[in-house]
Amino acid sequence: MSENPDLTDERLSGTFDINSMAAVIYGSDKFAQRRLEITEAISKIPELQDSRPLVFMSREEKISEACRKLSVLSNHWDSLIDTSDEEEALHLYREVLGLEGHPLALHETMFIPSLIAQADNEQQEKWLGRAQRREIIGCYAQTEMGHGTNLRALETTAIFDISTQEFILNSPTITSLKWWPGALGKSSNWSIVIANLIVHDKNHGPHPFMVQLRDEKSHELLPGITVGDIGPKMAFNGADNGFLGFKNYRIPGENMLMRHSKVTPDGNYIKPPHAKIGYSSMVKVRSRMAMDQGLFLASALVIAVRYSAVRRQGYLEDKSREVKVLDYQTQQHRLFPSIARAYAFIFCGFETIRLYDQLLIDVQNGNTSGMADLHVLTSGLKSVVTHQTGEGIEQARMACGGHGYSMASYISEYYGVAIAGCTYEGENMVMLLQLARYLVKSIEMIQNGKSKELGPMVAYLAEKESKVDLNLGPMEYLKVFQYAARNQTWRATEKFQKLRNSGMSNEQAWNQASVELTRASHLHTRLYIMSTFINHVGSVVDQKVKKVLIDLLNVHVTYEVMDIGIYVQGLLSSDQMDLIRNQLYVSLETIRPNAVSLVDSFQISDMQLRSVLGRHDGNVYENLFKWAKSSPLNEKDVLESVTKYLKPMMNKSKL
């Protein structure tokens, strides 16, 4: 009864059941329902609510608030969620702790998964249960001040001392300090540390080590370790990202994680079955990034679309009342393609998580053949999805006008957290070039008559061009994208080969062709996203949900093809491009009645959203005033700065 009638009208205009759509988004009706149940249960525990808006807290207060909530949660874990279900746990964290960081963030997403993937059975018996019961808090320390993406250049060393059966850890330079790991600065007492393994003066490259940082009882740092917080960041300031250095710090020999590689007591090094198997923790994070970034984008769109449905500005036909800004075509063009991308990213994310889970099973059975394919796939996805998510969130902020710039919208926090994904777990351009090496290798296989050996994701590179009939639906648009990605990949590869054949070194030729190569990777990845979107929509059973998803898919394919127009000039005529452009505008109109229902389907609660503009009830303005009055600056009518500086200045001016 208290809902803004403008939002009520929007919800009544929806043509599908949002709970049925949520089941499609999150993979099953069971999990979509569990999300609602968890949210409802959390709402009944007052101690889990924010004590005041996070945006008005200092960094130390945010960290303290997160720790307070974790302490409360420790009494409710088993009653709120199935603690063995990772998706339920992540939903709980998003609801209660939000996105500004907390001490268990890397503990759950990298520390425990690394123990599962890289610790042998004996090591798991020793540490995994303790970590899962949160008896210890861990993080993952890989990135250094001077090197991140280039793992081979990491400087931290772990020298094996045969006489004591210990590893000696050292940070030999200022640039070798571990830098950026979340929860490292003040919260963690253990860490998985990536260091160069040195045995008999031979460097075997980066390997993972289980390292205790602090006394488990006093939480004091152990001798030989330097640890601290790296300071405030663009966002994510509820997390104590830290630095870490070692000086002749000794750990037991059994603290090297040895599921895939090991050092025997006599100093014999046994290498892993696959060169990149140590990257499994990174691949794990990257496999989730498409979905996580999709949810960041979804959250910003919930805010922008709901606010656009209650914000009225200007007139169209009816001059008696200002129109909803969501009715403007420019606003729809700004927001609706991003809604389509959010759905596409989430669907794609679930697929890569499935592939990672299968990879874990394969590796444990001795089959590492899928490691390289998943590594390059997630590298490309991580780069494209983070970049497009950042663009989409910023458009959502601008779509909210002036109020979008206020922290009351909370969109800036979503942007700051999401855009960090462009650099963590591999800098985006480097990731695109890693994928490009795979694409170039695929072209060279075709050139050498080995097309039949191509993997399914690159088989299209060997196909001949074919005419397209855009009236036949999304699969024809997929052909357009295949044309663009195939031509750009061949063009970039041939440029690289020509430069190399001219006498340039391999490295120089690669650098001179790198912009064209990254463009090929970008197109290839967007092709994969479109393909998984089409396949996912095709598998939907509920016909009303499927109908609106097809409408959303039409927005996606037309917008994406318009966006790469320069790459399809040899395939599509100007008349065909005009047809696509007009179809996009028609698709925007088709989506309009379902816009609010589409974002409601993400099931993002007000508690998790933390946005005045994106409130579910749409009562923005009275709550915006209430929020502003809670600013700490309003606790005093006359600030000390006025009394101390401005009043004397004004009085002096009068004299």
- Residue 236: CB atoms within 10 A of its CB come to 18
CA atoms within 13 A on the CB side of 548: 27
Q: Which residue has the tokens 């008896």?
A: 135
**DSSP code of 136?**
S
Rounded to whole angstroms, the Cα distance separating 163 from 165 reads 6
For CA atoms 35, 36, 37, 42, the dihedral sign is positive
Pick from 397, 393, 385, 377: nearest CA to 422: 385
Q: Residue count of the chain, please give it.
A: 655
Q: Which of 108, 351, 425, 560 is catalytic?
A: 425
Pick from 230, 207, 98: nearest CA to 157: 207
Specify whether 425 is catalytic: yes
CB 339 within 8 A of CB 598: yes
Tell me whether strands 242-246 and 225-229 are parallel, antiparallel or unpaired: antiparallel
Rounded to whole angstroms, the Cα distance separating 444 from 640 reads 71
Distance of CA 577 to the CA centre of its chain: 33
Pick from 382, 357, 418: nearest CA to 116: 357
3-class state of residue 556 by DSSP = helix
- The backbone torsions φ and ψ at residue 365, rounded to the nearest 5 degrees and listed phi first, read -95, 10
Rounded to whole angstroms, the Cα distance separating 177 from 175 reads 5
3-class state of residue 33 by DSSP = helix
**DSSP code of 4?**
-
- Residue 574: CB atoms within 10 A of its CB come to 8
**Alpha carbon of 113 to those of 196, 212, 259: distances in Å?**
21, 18, 13
Q: What is the dihedral of CA 456, 462, 468, 474, to 10 degrees?
A: 20
Rounded to whole angstroms, the Cα distance separating 100 from 107 reads 15
Instruction: Supply 299's token pair.
Output: 């959250």
Rounded to whole angstroms, the Cα distance separating 135 from 564 reads 51
129 is in an annotated binding site: no
Q: Which residue has the tokens 């003066």?
A: 201
Q: Which residue has the tokens 């196909």?
A: 463
Instruction: Supply 42's token pair.
Output: 């959390």
Burial grade of 59 (CB within 10 A; 0-12, 13-18, 19 or more): middle
173 is in an annotated binding site: no
CB 460 within 8 A of CB 482: yes
CB 147 within 8 A of CB 153: yes
Rounded to whole angstroms, the Cα distance separating 204 from 206 reads 7
Rounded to whole angstroms, the Cα distance separating 339 from 599 reads 8
Q: What is the DSSP string of 200-219?
A: TTEEEEEEEEEEE-B-TTT-
| 3-class secondary structure per residue, 21-85 | HHHHHCCCHHHHHHHHHHHHHHHCCHHHCCCCCHHHCCHHHHHHHHHHHHHHHCCCHHHHCCCCC
Q: Which residue has the tokens 């009225």?
A: 312
Known binding-site positions for FAD: 143, 182
* Residues recognised as catalytic: 425
